[in-house]
C-alpha cells in the first residue's frame, strides 16, 4: 500500500491522521460503554467525550442559537446531533421538513443523497420539487434560487461544493435570500466541512448536514446535523434514547430529537481527535496545501493533448477536486489503467451526481476524478500527470 498514490479523497480521506486511530482504540479499551444508559464512572466518561465532541463541532460550525427564554444567543451544543453520515443527515432534513403539498427548491449540482430523498418525497408524499440550473462551470446563480421560490416552498437545500466539479456555491448569498423570503435553508457540506470555514449564523443556515470521514478526517460511519434554533424539524427516526423511557413517543428534547439508538461512540471519539488535528494544522493551511497541488494538477493536465477538464481551471471558489476525460477513452478504462499500471487510485463514473453529468455532457459514462488530500505531495501530482499523459498517448 505504501507505493499507492491515493487521489480519491472526495470519496473518503485517506489515510486518517494517526491520532484518530489511537483515540478510537483507547476509547474502546478504556471507556467504551454506553453513555446515558449507565451512571457508572465509565458511562460518565463516555458521556463527557460525546458532549465534548458536540461542543467542538458546534463551535466549529457556529449555529445561530437564540435562547427562547432570555432571547439571548447561546451556544447549546445539543443542537448538533450525530448521525452515521451526510446521507442520513440529509434524509432527516428532507423527511423532517417536507409535508404533502410542500415545495422544495434544490439544484442540479446535488449528490444522490439529496436527489433521491427528494424524489421519494415527490413520489410518496406529493411534494413538488424544482431543480435550479447552473452555468457551464457549475455555479448556481443565487437569484435563480429566489426566482424558484413559491408560496408553498418549505425548504431550500443546496450543495456547498460539488463532488464532481469542485465548484463552491455562494452559500452566503443564498442564505441571505432565504432569510429575506423566510424559508429554511439547508446545506449539504459533505465536501466542505473541515475544508472551508462554515459559519451557520453568518450564512443563515438552518440545517447543516456533514459527514465525518471526508474533510473532517474522522472514520467512516459518523456524521451529523447541526440545527439553528427556531428551525423546525420533526424526528423521523424513533427509538431508545436512554432518557425519559416511560414516554410512549420519541422525545423532542435536543439532541435526542434526531438521535435514536446507541451512537457510534468509537466514531465520535475518532472525530474528536480529528477535530483537534485540524485545529493544530489549521483549516486554512490544509486548504492552501491542497489548492496549490490542484493548481499544479490542472496546469499539467491542460497541456496533455486529448484531455478535457470539466468545470473551470482556476483555483478560486473551488475545492481540490478535478474531473476530466481523455478523448476516445472510457473513464472506467482510464481508472483501471491508473490503478493497475500506475498504482493511482481515483474515482470514475457518475460519482453519484447524475444531474451534474447531464449538465456537462458526460452522462452516462461520467468522468475520471482526482481529489487531493493533505497527505498528497508534489511527487504524487507529478506521477498522476505523467500517467495521464502516457495513457493519452497510447
Q: Would you tell me which residues interact with ligand PLP (CB under 6 A)?
A: 85-87, 111, 113, 159, 163, 188, 190-191, 211, 223
CB of 252 to ligand PLP, least distance (A): 25
Helix (H) or strand (E) holding 105: strand 103-107
Is 38 or 112 the residue whose CB approaches ligand PLP more closely? 112
CB of 213 to ligand PLP, least distance (A): 6
- In DSSP notation, 75-95 reads --GGGEEEESSHHHHHHHHHH
Q: Say which residues have a Cβ less than 8 Å from residue 240's Cβ, sequence separation at least 6.
A: 260, 261, 262
Q: Which lies closer to ligand PLP via its Cβ, residue 113 or residue 241?
A: 113
Sequence-distant (≥ 6) Cβ neighbours of residue 108 within 8 angstroms: 131, 132, 133, 134, 355, 356, 358, 359
Q: What angle do CA 258, 62, 315 make, to 5 degrees?
A: 110
- For the bound state, the minimum distance from the C-beta of residue 323 to ligand PLP, rounded and expressed in Å, comes to 12
Residue whose CB is less far from ligand PLP, 31 or 162? 162
Q: Are strands 223-227 and 80-83 parallel, antiparallel or unpaired?
A: antiparallel
The residue among 190 and 381 lying less far from ligand PLP, judged by its C-beta, is 190
Q: Which is nearer to ligand PLP, 31 or 85 (CB)?
A: 85
Smaller CB separation from ligand PLP, 111 or 359: 111
Question: For residues 369 and 385, which CB has a smaller minimum distance to ligand PLP in the complex?
Answer: 369
Nearer Cβ to ligand PLP, position 85 or 325?
85
Query: Would you say 183 and 164 are in contact if contact means Cβ atoms under 8 Å apart?
Result: no
Q: Compare residues 138 and 223 and give the one whose CB is closer to ligand PLP.
A: 223
Helices (H), the chain: 18-30, 41-61, 86-97, 112-125, 142-148, 171-181, 200-203, 265-281, 283-302, 331-342, 354-360, 378-393
Contact between 171 and 160 (Cβ < 8 Å): yes
In angstroms, give the least distance from the CB of 354 to ligand PLP: 13
CB of 203 to ligand PLP, least distance (A): 17
How far is Cα 80 from Cα 255, in angstroms, rounded to an integer?
7
CA dihedral (200, 201, 205, 207) in degrees, to 10, reads: 70
Interacting residues of 351 by C-beta distance below 8 A, sequence separation 6+: 10, 163, 164, 323, 357, 366, 367, 369
- Measure CA 73 to chain center: 26
Alpha-carbon span 96 to 236, nearest angstrom? 6
Residue 220 CB, nearest approach to ligand PLP (Å) = 8
In the complex, least distance from residue 216 CB atom to ligand PLP, rounded to whole angstroms: 10
Peptide bond into 364 cis (omega under 30): yes
Quote the least distance from Cβ 219 to ligand PLP, whole Å.
11
Maximum CA extent, the chain = 70
Query: In angstroms, rounded to a whole number, what is the distance separating the alpha carbons of residues 373 and 223?
Result: 19
Q: Shortest Cβ distance from residue 264 to ligand PLP (Å)? A: 13
Supply the minimum distance, in Å, between the C-beta of residue 190 and ligand PLP: 3
Q: 188 - beta bridge partners? A: 159, 209
321-326 sheet: strands from edge to edge = 307-309, 321-326, 367-371, 347-349
- Of 211 and 325, nearer to ligand PLP (C-beta) is 211
Cell of residue 5, nine digits: 498514490
Amino acid at each position: 500500500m505504501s507505493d499507492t498514490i491515493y487521489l480519491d479523497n472526495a470519496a473518503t480521506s485517506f489515510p486518517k491522521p494517526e491520532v484518530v486511530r489511537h483515540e478510537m482504540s483507547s476509547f474502546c479499551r478504556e471507556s467504551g460503554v454506553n453513555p446515558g444508559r449507565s451512571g457508572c464512572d465509565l458511562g460518565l466518561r463516555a458521556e463527557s467525550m460525546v458532549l465534548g465532541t458536540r461542543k467542538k463541532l458546534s463551535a466549529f460550525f457556529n449555529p445561530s442559537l437564540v435562547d427562547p427564554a432570555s432571547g439571548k444567543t447561546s451556544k447549546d451544543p445539543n443542537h448538533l446531533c450525530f448521525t452515521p453520515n451526510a446521507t442520513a443527515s440529509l434524509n432527516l432534513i428532507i423527511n423532517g421538513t417536507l409535508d404533502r403539498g410542500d415545495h422544495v427548491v434544490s439544484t442540479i449540482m446535488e449528490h444522490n443523497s439529496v436527489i433521491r430523498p427528494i424524489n421519494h418525497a415527490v413520489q410518496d408524499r406529493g411534494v413538488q420539487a424544482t431543480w435550479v440550473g447552473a452555468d457551464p462551470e457549475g455555479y448556481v446563480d443565487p437569484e435563480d434560487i429566489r426566482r424558484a421560490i413559491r408560496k408553498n416552498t418549505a425548504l431550500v437545500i443546496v450543495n456547498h461544493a460539488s463532488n464532481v466539479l469542485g465548484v463552491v456555491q455562494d452559500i452566503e448569498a443564498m442564505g441571505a435570500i432565504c432569510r429575506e423570503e423566510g424559508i429554511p435553508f439547508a446545506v449539504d457540506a459533505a465536501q466542505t466541512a473541515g475544508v472551508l470555514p462554515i459559519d451557520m449564523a453568518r450564512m443563515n443556515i438552518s440545517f447543516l448536514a456533514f459527514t465525518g470521514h471526508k474533510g473532517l478526517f474522522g472514520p467512516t460511519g459518523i456524521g451529523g446535523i447541526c440545527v439553528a434554533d427556531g428551525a423546525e424539524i420533526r424526528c423521523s427516526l424513533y427509538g431508545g434514547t436512554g432518557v425519559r423511557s416511560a414516554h410512549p413517543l420519541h422525545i423532542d428534547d435536543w439532541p435526542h430529537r434526531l438521535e435514536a439508538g446507541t451512537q457510534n461512540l468509537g466514531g465520535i471519539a475518532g472525530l474528536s481527535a480529528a477535530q483537534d488535528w485540524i485545529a493544530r494544522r489549521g483549516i486554512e493551511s490544509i486548504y492552501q496545501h491542497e489548492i496549490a497541488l490542484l493548481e499544479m494538477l490542472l496546469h499539467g493536465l491542460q497541456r496533455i493533448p486529448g484531455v478535457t477538464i470539466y468545470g473551470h481551471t482556476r483555483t478560486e471558489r473551488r475545492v481540490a477536486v478535478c474531473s476530466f476525460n481523455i478523448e476516445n477513452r472510457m473513464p472506467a478504462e482510464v481508472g483501471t489503467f491508473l490503478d493497475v499500471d500506475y498504482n493511482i487510485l481515483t474515482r470514475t463514473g457518475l460519482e453519484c451526481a447524475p444531474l451534474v453529468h447531464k449538465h456537462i455532457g458526460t452522462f452516462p459514462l461520467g468522468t475520471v476524478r482526482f481529489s487531493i488530500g493533505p497527505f498528497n505531495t508534489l511527487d504524487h501530482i507529478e506521477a498522476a500527470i505523467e500517467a495521464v499523459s502516457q495513457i493519452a498517448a497510447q
